[in-house]
Structure formats: C-alpha cells, structure tokens
Amino acid sequence: MTTITRFAPSPTGLLHVGNLRTALHNWLLAKKQDGKFLLRIDDTDRERSEEAFVEAAREDLAWLGIVPDSEERQSERFALYEAAFDKLREAGRVYPCYETAQELELKRKVQLGRGLPPIYDRGALALSEDERAAKEAQGIDPHWRFKLDHDEPIGWNDGIRGPVKFDPAQLSDPVIRRGDGSWLYMLPSAVDDIEMGVTDVLRGEDHVSNTAAQVQMFAALGASAPRFAHEALLVGKEGKLSKRLGSLSARALRERGLEPEALLSLLARLGTSMPVEAIVRREVLVESFDLSTFGRAPAKFDEDELVRLNAQIVHRLPFAQVAERVPEGMDQAGWEAIRPNLTRVDEAGEWWAVVTGSVVPPTMDPEEREYLTQAVSVAEGISWDENAWHALTAALKEQTGRKGRALFLPLRQSLTGRDAGPDMGALLPLIGRDTALERLRAAAGG
C-alpha cells in the first residue's frame, strides 16, 4: 500500500513554526516510504478563512521545498460531508442538541465542582420528539454530536506513543456540526482521510482525544482508520505556539533573511533523539527520518539555535546558489572571502561595501602612523597577487620586528575600517593595489 500523508492547515492565519514542523514531518514520512504528500485546505469556516492565508501557506511550503503531490479544499467537498452525515444519522450515530454555549459552560462548571470530568451528559438524548419540536419552534437550531459507542473500547498502536487506550464513556460526544449547518473539524477530516486514501496521520499530541473519537467515526463510516502518530508539541519561550506569534511565522522568518535549510534542519530533528545539525541536502533529512526517535517531552523552539544553524548553512552555500542575492559586482572570489563572516546572505552587502566603497581612516597615534608609512612603502614594492597579504606582513615583520596583533591590527583597521572581519589574505586582492595604497596613506596621515 502506498503511504499517503497530508497536511491540513486552516487558512485563518499565517503558518508558524509549529505548523511547519507538522507539515515537514508528514512530508518526510511520505518521502521516506516513496509515498505521497497531500495538502488539504481546511476552509470550512467561511467567516474566518481568507484566501490570502491559502496563498501564504503555499508560498511557505514552496520556500521550504515541501511540494505536495496534490491539493484539495474542503469548501469544494461539502457534498461528501452531507452524504456521510446522512449515513451516520440513519445509523443513529449523530443526534441533535439544543443547549446554548452558556448552558454547556454551566454544566461543565457544575461537574468540575463535584469532582467529575467535564464531559457532555447526553442530556439531548433524553428529549422527546415533542420537546425537540418545541425547541425548534422557538427558533433554536440544533448543533449535532457524534454518538460514541460506550460498549466499544477505543485503542490503537500509536507510531510515537505506542499502545493507546480510551474509555469512550470518559469522552464527550464530539460536536460535528454547528447550528447554522457549518462543519467542525472532526467529520470532514475523517471523510477526507477516507476519500483521499490517507494511510498515515502524523499530528500533535493535542489531537489524541480527537483521534479516539475519529477511530469510532471511521468504523461507523465503514472504513479502516489510518495509522496515527502523535508528536509532542513544539513550545516557545512563552509556551505553546499559536498563530498569534507573528514573529515565528514562516513569512517573518523568510523576511528576516533566514535560509529554508536552517529551518528545515531545526524542525526536522526537534523532539527527537537525533542531533540537531546544519543539513543542506533534504535527502539526508528524508533518509534519517524515523518515528522511533521521537520523544514524549515538549520540544522547545530556540530562535538563537536557528540563527546559529543559519550561519552554518550560509558558510556552506556555493556562489551559484546565492549569485542573484549578493551585491552587484561580487564574484565567486568575493563571496568565498566574506562568507565565513556572515550569519545571513543579506549581510554580504555590508562587507562588499568594505571592498568597493570608502573607508573612514582610523585615528592613529604617531607610532602607528610611522608604522603605516612603512607599510605604504612595502606595499608599493610587493607583487600584487593572491599572496599580497602574506608578502606585506612578512616584509613588515622583518623590518619592524612586530608580530601578532601589533603587526596585523593597524593594517586591518586602515584597509577595512574594522577591528575584525574576513581573512585579509582573501580580502586584500579584492580591495586591489590602488585602493589599498590609498587607504594606507590616509591612515598614515599622508
């Protein structure tokens, strides 16, 4: 059987790193098995769903190189949900409820006050036909619940958590349809998994109780449930991630100049026993993906770690991969010279300006100006090739007896205006003879 996974975002906000981690893991699971990865847009909530967020989700996945094999939209599949609803209704597995949100909240508070679990008491099932008719005559539109079979224990072998068991009597019958006829998550998701042939559902552990109800839902619809795996949630500095954390949205991270490979490297391994390391090739992530390495503890998303990984990724990027993102005029030699000092590609412009722009000469004391005057004389006489820096410093060391910081720092400051930076051996040929001499003379005061 072909492995088929899916990622099912609701287009009510931008995807954050927690969503992307779910998408990535489902994609990796499918690719590891030479299967298919599907994108399902869960846009049944017409009031909150926005087309802009659909486009944003596509852009985010494309940026990461997560390409779905097909895409479906729940808003185009309502006929399937109606048919499934009718089937369940005829089988007595769904029933109308008339309580208001306030009445349900009051019931929960009473139960909690008595030390009881806050589950639905199935009060609607006790209503007679006349009582239901009276409520509807009052203009009360019922919401609909799926009736769990309390005589049928629920269990499955979770791909991460191992054997999972639920007593259905300890669960509330889930609401599957609102009073206005709109759908909630549970039934459409189960119907789509059946119709789309989904074999594996990998999602957050906050869905475990949903899975328990859906296991019975699959059976009631005459279908086998997919294999389920529930991973520990990703948390940030403030706890559980949410769509409100715009700074951790994929768009925000992309606009900060972070590389997709850095985010993939971090999200692929967070929550597993495998080391988090900078990995450029997605094939490596696919090959190493293994649900048995996933742990149960919440995985903490650390932005500082992401920045470190990004720097390591940038240091490996070949010029061909960044050629369209670096400053005009920068060639491969320029990129390779400044690359070790970058944490982001967009920082290349700052260092290229050191090569091609003007440098403010540092203020030097008389002793240093005399040293730099000697440097000008030496620089005028050396061969200006890829070994220019070595030739310059070797000659000055012999003439002045200087070494270490005293030898190198005044030269770097004069040539770049900085105390630190890229390797001068690679940078000096890029600066060029005429510009270098001009900068040395300026620093020497002449």
User: pLDDT of 333-362, one tens digit each?
Assistant: 999 999 999 999 999 999 999 999 999 888
User: Which of the four pLDDT bands, split at 50, 70 and 90, describes residue 235?
Assistant: confident
Tokens read off for 113: 């006050």
Span 24-63, pLDDT tens digits = 999 999 999 999 999 999 999 888 899 999 999 999 999 9
CB atoms within 10 A of CB 249: 21
Q: Which residues pair with 97 in a beta bridge?
A: 143
CATH 3.90.800.10 domain locations along the chain:
80-177
Q: Is the pLDDT assigned to residue 330 strictly greater than 60?
A: yes
Give yes or no for a contact between 154 and 223, defined as CB atoms under 8 angstroms apart. no
Q: Is the pLDDT assigned to residue 243 strictly greater than 60?
A: no
With a pLDDT cut of 70, the percent of the chain lying above it is: 98
| Residues 73, 55: Cα–Cα separation, whole Å | 13
With a pLDDT cut of 90, the percent of the chain lying above it is: 91
Q: Is the pLDDT assigned to residue 249 strictly greater than 90?
A: no
Instruction: Give the chain's count of helices (H) and strands (E).
Output: 19, 13
Q: What is the mean pLDDT of residues 114-127?
A: 93
Give yes or no for a contact between 5 and 21, defined as CB atoms under 8 angstroms apart. no
Q: What share of the chain is helix, strand, coil (3-state, %, to 5)?
A: 50, 15, 35
| Residues 13, 384: Cα–Cα separation, whole Å | 57
243 in a labelled binding site: yes
pLDDT of residue 22: 96
Q: Which of 176, 346, 334 is nearest to 256 (CA)?
A: 346
Q: Is the pLDDT assigned to residue 424 strictly greater than 70?
A: yes
Q: Which of 427, 435, 351 is nearest to 389 (CA)?
A: 427
Alpha-carbon Rg for the chain, nearest whole angstrom, is 32
| Residues 97, 332: Cα–Cα separation, whole Å | 69
User: Which of the four pLDDT bands, split at 50, 70 and 90, describes residue 147?
Assistant: very high
pLDDT of residue 248: 84
| Residues 256, 233: Cα–Cα separation, whole Å | 25
Q: Which residues pair with 6 in a beta bridge?
A: 38
DSSP per residue, 68-133: -SEEEEGGG-HHHHHHHHHHHHHTT-EEEE---HHHHHHHHHHHHHTT-------GGGG--HHHHH
Give yes or no for a contact between 262 and 270, defined as CB atoms under 8 angstroms apart. no
DSSP per residue, 285-345: HHHH--GGGB-SSPEEP-HHHHHHHHHHHHTT--HHHHTTTSPTT--HHHHHHHGGG-SSG
CATH of domain 80-177: 3.90.800.10
CATH of domain 366-444: 1.10.10.350
CATH 1.10.10.350 domain locations along the chain:
366-444
Q: Which residues contact 17 (CB under 8 A, 6 or more apart)?
A: 234, 241, 248, 250, 253, 263, 267, 301
Which 8-state DSSP code applies to residue 248? G
pLDDT of residue 416: 95
Could you name the CATH architecture of 4-69+189-234?
3-Layer(aba) Sandwich (3.40)
CATH 3.40.50.620 domain locations along the chain:
4-69+189-234
